[in-house]
Amino acid sequence: MWKSLLEWEEFIYAAAAKHHRIETIETLDYLISDEDNESEEFYGMEKDMLILILQSLEKSKRCIVNLIISLFFIRIYLNLSKNLLIYFK
């Protein structure tokens, strides 16, 4: 089903709240492939599309993409996993 960017933002943020993921750090892979999210419409979504939605959520100050990249251990994690970190506010 087609959704506008704003609809996807609301849907993903509502899912983060439903799964108690507000004020937690998540990975992109967790959002699209973890079994916790199998019932969500964004499960299996293309990463590029999800990144656009998350960047839009970031503009509305409801999440931070690549939170704390400057911290050494996070930087190492990102280099190893090649994954984004997402913090839902």
* 19 Cβ contact partners less than 8 Å away, ≥ 6 residues apart: 36, 37
The CATH T-level fold of domain 5-88 is Arc Repressor Mutant, subunit A (1.10.10)
Tens of pLDDT, residue by residue over 21-66, are 898 888 888 889 988 889 999 999 998 898 899 989 989 989 888 7
DSSP 24: S
Domain boundaries of the chain, sorted by first residue: 5-88
pTM over 0.85: no
**Nearest CA-CA partner of 8 in 75, 46, 22, 74:** 46
